[in-house]
Amino acid sequence: MAKYQDLADSIIKGDNIASKKIAEKLVADSVSATDILNDGLMPGMNIVGKKFKANKMYIPEVLIAARAMHAAMDIIGPLLTESGEQGKGSIAIGTVQGDLHDIGKNLVGMMLEGGGYNVVDLGVDVPSEKYIEAAKEGKLKIIGLSALLTTTMPAMKEIIDALKADPETADAKVMVGGAPLTQEYADSIGATGYAPDAASAVDLADKLMGHI
Ligand code: B12
């Protein structure tokens, strides 16, 4: 549909004013936040990823595309997080040390909130100790780790090993995600669970918590 194409184009061009306006218009036209995300924003970001890989877009342009994505996410975020369910527990989520990618992490956080969880966002470039501290605070049900770079994926294993080594945090549930990850990789580092996208992250959290 043309309206989704306009939204995708605004992400590719990095036009945060247009992406915000189009997202607002779609919301006003009663298009669901999930459709706006899946049919407009994600296809736009996928093209940015392809162009970046092919050296047709460079980091500054990708950053302004990310800014446009965030501008639209600010509009649909409250709708994604709207939910009848509340109080399933707290989940901390962060992007591992050395990694600054936060769009996927933020989406997972929004969807988890929408799924009834209280989300503690630890931010990006999060050192292992910060995850351990968060786990020790005690009220967390699950810890979510995000990594977008093959070079930062090993940090996930370090965090999981450190959690397991400490009796206070040994039974912490850890879910992992990010574009370069696979179920096999998640299994190999001893993660409790892996989900390929934000919607299945909520199903995974429910499963780990015994809600389904
Ligand atoms: C945007 C972007 C950037 C932006 C980030 C801006 C921001 N605020 O996030 C900027 C410009 C900063 C950037 C920088 C770099 N990037 Co970059 N970037 C991307 C790009 C184009 C899109 C990523 C994205 O946001 N996707 C959209 C989101 C929604 O998808 P997602 O992150 O995968 O998240 C979904 C799932 O994975 C999952 N998920 C994510 N996290 C979690 C967590 C849990 C717990 C769960 C369950 C699920 C889950 O759910 C999400 C929603 O569905 C990708 C290409 C790509 N196609 O992935 C490259 C990419 C990740 N970047 C890459 C590279 C190389 C870099 C740089 C090293 C470039 C450089 N030479 O400096 C730097 C590294 C900076 C750093 N230290 O982190 C490579 C990585 C290659 C590799 N094999 O490691 C990629 C794949 C591009 C490429 N093909 O070459 N990048």
Dump pLDDT digits (tens) for 100-144: 999 999 989 888 887 788 899 999 999 999 999 998 886 777 999
Closest CA to ligand 1's atom 17: 101
Distance (Å) from CA 148 to ligand 1 centroid: 5
Predicted local confidence at residue 13, as pLDDT: 96
Of the pLDDT bands very low, low, confident and very high (cuts 50, 70, 90), residue 45 is confident
211 C-alpha to ligand 1 centroid (Å): 30
- pLDDT class for 212, splitting at 50, 70, 90? low
| pLDDT at res. 59 | 85
Task: Name the pLDDT band for 183 (thresholds 50, 70, 90).
Answer: very high
- Residue 183 CA to residue 170 CA, distance in Å, equals 21
pLDDT over 70 at 86, yes or no: no
Atom of ligand 1 at shortest distance to CA of 144? 45
CA nearest ligand 1 atom 30, residue = 104
Question: In one letter, which amino acid is 143?
Answer: I
In this predicted structure, the answer to whether residue 93 has a pLDDT above a threshold of 70 is yes
**Quick one: pLDDT at residue 191?**
97
Measured in Å, residue 100 CA sits from the centre of ligand 1 at: 8
Ligand 1 lined by 143 (C-beta under 6 Å): no
Per-residue pLDDT, averaged over 182-206, amounts to 94
Selection from 32, 58, 148, 37 nearest residue 94 by Cα: 148
Asked if pLDDT for residue 7 goes beyond 60, the answer is yes
Phi, psi angles (nearest 5°) of residue 24 = -60, -40
Say what the pLDDT of residue 126 is: 97
Q: Residue 14 and residue 24: Cα distance in Å, rounded?
A: 17
Ligand 1 atom at shortest distance from the alpha carbon of 149: 84
- Which of 56, 101, 153, 206 for mutating ligand 1's site (highest number of atoms within 8 Å of CB)? 101
Query: In 3D, which of 88, 59, 66, 68 has the Cα closest to residue 17?
Result: 68
